[in-house]
Amino acid sequence: MLESLGSLTSSPWIYLVVGTSIVLDVFLPILPSGVLVITASTAAAAGATNATTPDSFIHDLPELALLALCAATASLVGDLVAYRLAWRGGARLHRAIARSRRLTAAQERLGTALNRGGGALVVIARFAPAGRSVVSLGAGAAHRKAKEFVPWSALAGVAWALYSVGLGYFGGQWLGASWLSTGLSVLALFIAGALAAYVVRRPRTSSPASNLAVASATSPTA
């Protein structure tokens, strides 16, 4: 079945589906965009005649590069849409987040860390569950300058896309292009997400003055 799916990687439809899912999952974190990227890249490995030779990787490289470019671009586009909507949203954004238990919990856990960790946290949070949503919406709601957010968002999208495509393709090479290798690759993606969430939420000691600054920065009225 993966061999049949592999033929779709040469069709624009797979890129449309993957790109749309990635753009939308900044608003709906439950969408399986990472699973789609891994499945598509595993299917590319299934189409290789001999997945263990360097020639097969060179043959598949254009498809993999296009898939990674599609995923990274869609990630940045989704982030920018969320950023701009949050910039203009104001009180409506806070009400929308309050209606989502998952986003509310993620905002509480990541909001302070975002103000504390700076741009590198945007990259780490891209792997954490709902981290992308909180970072993009939080950057817009806080009216952060685009030059402070966009480069890190682009880097986060590239890192996530390369990691996901690499997991699917090389997992298919080493373990065989099967649903088992796809499942293990997806598991590795979830493990990376759990580690990213741990790093983002890890408590750090700080002075009372810095705590007051963080509280002010994360206040809805700030």
Q: State pLDDT tens for residues 125-155.
A: 899 888 888 888 888 877 778 888 889 999 9
Residues 6+ apart with CB under 8 A from 215: none
Compute the half-sphere exposure of residue 164: CA atoms within 13 Å on the CB side of its CA.
Answer: 28
Asked if residues 72 and 123 have their Cβ atoms less than 8 Å apart, the reply is no
The confidence score (pLDDT) of residue 165 equals 92
- How much is the pTM? 0.76
Q: pLDDT above 70 covers what percent of the chain?
A: 67
pLDDT tens-place string over residues 77-130: 999 999 998 888 766 666 766 776 766 665 665 556 556 656 788 898 899 888
List the one residue out of 51, 56, 81 whose CA is nearest residue 150. Answer: 81
Q: What pLDDT sits at residue 62?
A: 83
Quote the DSSP letter at residue 10: G
Across 168-183, average pLDDT? 76
Written as six digits, the tokens of 118 are 């700076």
pLDDT value at residue 220: 41
